[in-house]
Chains A and B, each alone.
Chain A
Amino acid sequence: MAVVSQNTTFSKVFWPAVAWSVAIIFFFPIFWMVFTSFKTDADAVKPEFLFFFTPTLENYTNMTENYDYWRFAINSVITATFATIFALVVGVPAAYAMAFNPSRATKDVLMWMLSTKMLPAAAVLYPMTFLTKNFLDIYDTHFLIIVVLCLINLPIVIWMLFTYFKEIPKEIIEAGKMDGVDTWGEIKDILIPLAWGGVASTALLCFIFCWNEAYWTVRLTTTEAATLSKLIEGNRAPEGLFFGRLSAVSTAAVGPIVVLGWFCQKQLVQGLTFGAVK
């Protein structure tokens, strides 16, 4: 008995402590970023002001007044939203076809889609920049960013949708066929309502990925279509001087997506752990 109770006391204290430590280690950079965003650039690098300083909103007012934060934010919203919509418009029918009319090639096609994610992005940087700038003349346009964001997320979108659709019993789709719905009706009236949780979490995840994307949005834009990633990049001084400013910009960039994720948490967890169907 004694051993058992000792054991439970131990595990009651030990494991939560481990969990909290890990959580704090992960959370610390974010905390530090938000914390620093309320310091002036000068204070941010002084050791004596590490924890005790006079908070200021200077960085934030400065950001909206001088760096045009809202334009970057709006670009982020536009590109992420449209890229997500297009990814779903292409992904839903693709996943539907593969889930309910599989052929011998279906598995290979899925693997091939995933394999495109294995190509290092840097490998196509030069052709992408060259073609879009000199040839297609779409460099630094919303159109380009939307297309790029859509394409790089499409494999994951299709994979996720495919797994959700696979969960739906084939007979329900067949009952729909007997009832005389066409393919579009099957998708609209049966598939999407049934896989709603899955479709929503796919859309959300795609949106988050688009929002956070930095490799291409930084390299394929200058001003017109520049997103928040570009804004952060632009404030990153190599000498490491403007920490307060950089922290404020970063906080303002990740803020909206964290809030969005927070509100959709339940949806996300439900969708990602399945069980949304039936």
Chain B
Amino acid sequence: MAGLTIRGVTKSYGETQVMHGVDLDIEDGEFVVYVGPSGCGKSTLLRMIAGLEEISGGEISIGDRVVNEVAPSKRGVAMVFQTYALYPHMSVYNNMAFGLKQIKTPKDEIDRRVREAAKILHIEEYLERTPRALSGGQRQRVAIGRAIVREPDVFLFDEPLSNLDAALRGQTRLEIARLHERLGVTMIYVTHDQVEAMTLADKIVVLRDGRVEQVGRPMDLYNTPQNLFVASFIGSPAMNFFKAEMNKDGVFIGGKAPVTKAVEAAGGVTVGLRPEHLIPCEESEAFVSGKLELVEQLGDHELLHLVREDSSEFVAKMEFLADKKRGEALYFKAAEDRIHLFDSKSEQRL
């Protein structure tokens, strides 16, 4: 059992620096998810914790031990790879037992642990097969099983579900959540799927270009994103942004002022509104309006794609709205605490 401390960690490949001083505290037993766009350094950070990538600067501690110079297998971490990385020439049983054999675990102890892990993951029938003879989902379980038997302090997952189809992804996601519940150990999980991030995480770390943009509980990130990047990255469909006008009465994006207090922002104000927080209303109450361009039916709700007068677009998410025609003008308001204000220049929350 151990938490994790990352202090000023940097990473360079030759001349190019890809991590620019990351600080992070992860508590014992926490489920932490790294999200961010492709190439932002999620895998790199994870692999530095695993010991597969050298740490160019700063310090990583697991528990109260600095592990910069410790071999991967001695760090008390286990990793689940995106490509599973099972040993193709070994049976499922031996895939799981391999690590334990390396540290000369007694045979019956190995057997006990492998069978227990197989039971948790429902792969008991496949123990004698080789990975070749398994489906993608089963292989993924074996990969998780291989991590479990080593009883690590920290589990590392690098996009473990990205090679699975949608149904299996949902199911395996749930199983990983259960596993975390059951084992209660620290888990660090990399994904660029923000649904996975929101549902699994105790704490989400949003990364961009080798820097931490924001750290917080999923609902904190959803409710109070600290900057435009986090605001646009968390939530689906993505948040709408509107260039706003300011005067002493408040902030306008056309129509009525949604925020009726004076705001200080050197670089101008950008208003953020999530599609699900737009409420249809009368023209007199509205502070944003647009002509209906397209409706996406999703069964329980629909997404309205609208175009404003200045031809910028936004999206509203609603339950069924009767009698809409293409080109019709629709009017929206929103609760004041659902309105996000950002400085357009610094991109920080106001």
Contacts and interface: CB of A to CB of B under 8 A. Distances in A.
Nearest to A194: B89
A125 B88 CA distance: 48
B85 A179 contact: no
A228 to B, nearest CB: 37
Interface in A184-223: 185, 189-190, 193-194
A178 B96 CA distance: 12
B81 A171 contact: yes
Contact of B83 (A171, A181, A194): A171
Contacts of A277: 88
Interface stretch (B72-80, B160-168, B279-287): B72-80
A185 to B, nearest CB: 7
A5 B175 CA distance: 61
B103 A180 contact: yes
Nearest to B50: A178
Contacts of B79: 174-175, 178
Interface string B76-98: 01110111011111000000001
Nearest to A192: B89
A169 B74 CA distance: 23
Contacts of B350: none
B85 A174 contact: yes
Given A178-B99, A194-B88, A278-B88, A169 B73 contact: no
B52 interface: yes
Nearest to A104: B14
A278 B85 CA distance: 11
Given A169-B83, A171-B83, A174-B85, A179 B73 contact: yes
B102 interface: yes
A172 B87 contact: yes
Contacts of B51: 177
B205 to A, nearest CB: 22
B169 to A, nearest CB: 20
A175 B158 CA distance: 13
B78 A193 contact: no
B89 A180 contact: no
Contacts of A278: 88
Contact of A190 (B73, B81, B87): B87
B74 to A, nearest CB: 8
Given A177-B52, A178-B50, A179-B73, A169 B102 contact: no
Interface in A253-278: 277-278
Nearest to A278: B88
Interface string B140-163: 000000100010000000000000
Given A178-B79, A179-B73, A180-B73, A172 B85 contact: yes
Nearest to A189: B98
A190 B94 CA distance: 12
B281 to A, nearest CB: 54
B114 to A, nearest CB: 13
Interface in A25-64: none
Nearest to A277: B88
Contact of B73 (A171, A178, A189): A178
B85 A180 contact: no
Contact of B72 (A171, A177, A189): A177
Contact of B102 (A171, A179, A193): A179
B98 A179 contact: yes
B73 A193 contact: no
Given A174-B81, A175-B79, A181 B102 contact: yes
A175 B142 CA distance: 13
The residue among B73, B78, B150 with the most chain A CB atoms within 10 A of its own CB is B73
A114 to B, nearest CB: 26
B1 to A, nearest CB: 19
Contacts of B85: 169, 171-172, 174-175
B78 A178 contact: yes
Contacts of B72: 177-178, 180
Contacts of A178: 50, 52, 72-73, 77-79, 99
A277 B51 CA distance: 26
Contacts of A189: 98
A73 B71 CA distance: 50
Given A180-B99, A185-B102, A194-B89, A175 B81 contact: yes
A180 B87 contact: no
B52 A174 contact: yes
Contacts of B82: 171
A2 B103 CA distance: 73
A178 B89 CA distance: 18
B50 A180 contact: no
B339 to A, nearest CB: 45
A277 B131 CA distance: 13
A153 to B, nearest CB: 27
A172 B88 CA distance: 9
A134 B47 CA distance: 57
A181 B102 CA distance: 6
A171 B83 CA distance: 8
Contacts of B81: 171, 174-175
Nearest to B96: A179
**For the complex of A and B, 4 pairs with smallest distance between CB atoms:** A180-B73, A179-B99, A171-B85, A180-B102
13 contacts: A172-B85, A172-B86, A172-B87, A172-B88, A174-B52, A174-B79, A178-B79, A179-B146, A180-B74, A180-B99, A180-B103, A185-B102, A193-B89
Interface of B: 50-52, 71-74, 77-79, 81-83, 85-89, 98-99, 102-103, 146, 150
Given A172-B85, A174-B85, 9 more contacts: A171-B83, A172-B87, A174-B81, A175-B146, A178-B73, A178-B78, A179-B99, A179-B146, A193-B89
